[in-house]
Amino acid sequence: MIVFFYDNNQIVCILLLWMLLGGIGVPMATVSAQDVSTDSTGRAVKLNQVVISKRDMRMIVLRPTGDTLAVFRIACGRNYGHKQREWDCRTPEGRFVIASVEDPSVWQKDMAKTESPGEVYGPRFFRLKTPGFTGIGIHGTSKPELIPGRITMGCIRLSNKDLYVFSKLVGVDTEVSILPDKNDTINDLLTNY
């Protein structure tokens, strides 16, 4: 569900009500017209920030002032804990930036799979600069019914509708903070000792 507002008081009231009701499992994004501009290179004119909570399975886009601009339901890595190696099915934690915005439909298809990259990843792939790892990003999905959940190889998934809205709010160099779940922290302690 996408809801458009032009008054910050409406946004705050709706978000508070939505959070009090536990989100009711419905994706929700709030957007105002002045927050969706990007320059010709795809970089966000106003560098909003993104905060991802693996515990809450939510991604929040914040204005530079710290006000909440949008909230999306997400899916993340199927295994708990901070990413330690390639293919461990964990979502990395920490502060990153969007390194590039890519169109998966132009990627080469893996012949072993029935779906094309454009179907699997949705219309956009926001590649994160994650030192030590490649291929981590924020993208859409061909299976929105699996959101929210712990189902990915390490990326953050959104419904394609939410990804479209997200693409209007962020761009290259947007900061992305990924917060751990308490189970992630416990799992890291058990794994490393």
Kindly list the catalytic residues.
Answer: 139, 155
| Radius of gyration of the chain from its Cα atoms, rounded to whole angstroms | 16
3-state secondary structure of 72: strand
CA distance 71 to 31: 10
Element (H, E) at 30: strand 29-31
Neighbour tally for 4: CB within 10 Å: 11
Report the run of H or E that residue 18 belongs to, with start and end: helix 8-20
Record the tokens describing residue 105, joined without a space: 């439909």
Alpha-carbon distance 143 to 4, whole Å?
25
